[in-house]
Amino acid sequence: MSTAASCPAGTTLASTEKSSVQSREIGAALHLALRRSKLTQGTIAGKLGWSDSKTSRMVTGYTAATRLDVASFLVAAEAVPEEIDRVSAVADLSPRAYSVQAHPVDLPDMLPTLLHLGANAHTIVSYQPHQLPHLTQTAGYTETILRDTGILAPDTIRDGASARQKRQTILSWPKGPTTTVYIDQAVLSRSLLSQVAAEQRLYLHTLVRHPRCHLRISPATAFATATQGFTLFQDDRGNEVVTAFTPTTMLVLDNPDHLAPYRQTITQLASRALPETSSAVRLLAPGTFGGATAC
């Protein structure tokens, strides 16, 4: 059992040389608050009576901090109450609760952890067998998918589409991640309203011309899997995390044994998917999202 898993809630967890996903998310938030405050780590340490080592390891994500430590740091850094509450809540999660995060139907985009992983990624690989991968969707496409669940309220649908669009901004950052998405061929036959279909093709046209975006189609006859949608993130330190999706939960996985089946799926997808040039022709064809109807 890991150190994190064996410590009771509310106790200070031992530092480890290998950071956890949870501690890195907290560390990134502390680093951002520190930068906004224009204070130094030494100044924060002095305010709180901490050692420089403790402060540094919290900011770099090598110490799993308690809720009290996180809140104290953010107060010292003059963070806004909403940010203090959000990051403190992440610190308060048990490792098990952090690794299984609930969200509204088909809306992991509402989870801060997913935003953190995307914002700190060096490379991203994504596959979703039943819809376009989230990073490739227009707002209209997302709203169509969410309405079809028949469960979500109109306000949640609008907020969810907005959250997904916000998450996509990482693709336009000057030093954004290199992103590869695998699109199941069957997804392209889904009928959409003509305006939604046209807007979605236009966005795909933008992505296929993006130097860091790689879109490849997985032929329906070439790859069959029971795998649910997932995304593999790798940061610039080589840390790898998979987020795997069920309709109402996001799994956050970083154990090598847990990552192995997803890496195997990516290898299979890469070997069987159409080349990027052939995929682009199919993605941009007028018949994509065939059977489109007038608005």
pTM score: 0.87
Task: Give the torsion sign (CA, 190, 195, 198, 201).
Answer: negative
Q: Could you tell me the pLDDT band of residue 16, with boundaries at 50, 70 and 90? A: very low
The Cα 216–Cα 184 span in angstroms is 9
CA distance linking residue 140 with residue 267, whole number of Å: 31
Is the pLDDT assigned to residue 3 strictly greater than 90?
A: no
What is the Cβ-side half-sphere exposure of residue 181, based on CA atoms within 13 angstroms? 24
What's the chain's length in residues? 295
292 pLDDT tier (thresholds 50, 70, 90)? very low
Per-residue buried b or exposed e for 174-198, using 16+ beta carbons within 10 Å of the residue's own CB: eebbebbbbbbbebbebebeeebbb
Tens-digit pLDDT profile for residues 200-252: 999 999 999 999 999 999 987 555 555 679 999 999 999 999 999 999 999 99
